[in-house]
Amino acid sequence: MNPDRNVLRTQNLSTVLISLALIGCIALLLYLTYTSQIRIQNFALDQLRQDSEKRAEAVSYFYMERRNDLRSLAEQQAISNFFENQALGMSLKYGLRDSIFGITDLFREFVNKKSLHERRIYDGLFYMNEDGTILTKFTAQELGEFDLEQLLQTLRKRAEEALRESEARLLTLINATPDIICFKDARGAWILANSSILDLYQIKGVDYQDKTEFELADPYGADLSECLQNLL
């Protein structure tokens, strides 16, 4: 028997065994990775389910408490007085209006009292008649509650509108005069100019604001730059 052939067979067998071992290791790693991912996904789903259940319980408890609030509110004496007086034949014009005032005071105390994490739960309460007519109402805004960010945005918007209106009136006024008028800031940039100076130097329609005369004259040549410099 040829010794070299035996050595070759041995080497081939070793190669096959090593290859099978590597394939087995890779398969094992893939299996472990897959099972690990499955466990992670199952754990995440369990956590999500538990969180959802907790949130559902919290929401259910919250609305149950609000239902109890309204039941307790309906049992208050001020509301009972209204129905008793109404049953006696009183109208809103004669006698029943005082009961409405009592309900309004009750609503004020209720809205101010009910809070969660220092924020009021109820934006307001409305008491309506059978035909849908609002007899009385009370909102949290009447307690002085407001959204600061919303207030700032409203004030900013009003200030911008007032500034635009003021600028428009000023522009109308200075455009009515044949004299050339131009307002500039500390560095010499144009803020506002009337039609006379824009027509004189044929730069009407040009965006002149926040630009100096040199920046404005640059596209039109040195002659205009020199004229503007001598003028302004």
The predicted-structure confidence for 167-186, as pLDDT tens digits, reads as follows 777 788 888 888 888 888 88
Give yes or no: residues 39 and 58 share one domain.
yes
Query: How many CA within 13 A on the CB side of residue 96?
Result: 17
183 and 167 share one domain: no
Clarify whether residues 157 and 198 are in a common domain: no
Average pLDDT on 213-220 reads 68
* Whole-Å CA distances, 67 to 62, 63, 70, 102, 196: 9, 6, 5, 22, 71
Same domain, 108 and 120: yes
Share of the chain above pLDDT 70, in %: 79
pLDDT of residue 221: 46
Please count the structural domains in the chain: 4
Domain that holds residue 122: 76-143
Distance CA 174, CA 191 (A): 13
Instruction: Evaluate if residue 111 carries a pLDDT over 50.
Output: yes
Indicate whether 5 pLDDT > 60.
Answer: no
First to last CA, the chain: 114
How high is the pLDDT of residue 63? Answer: 85
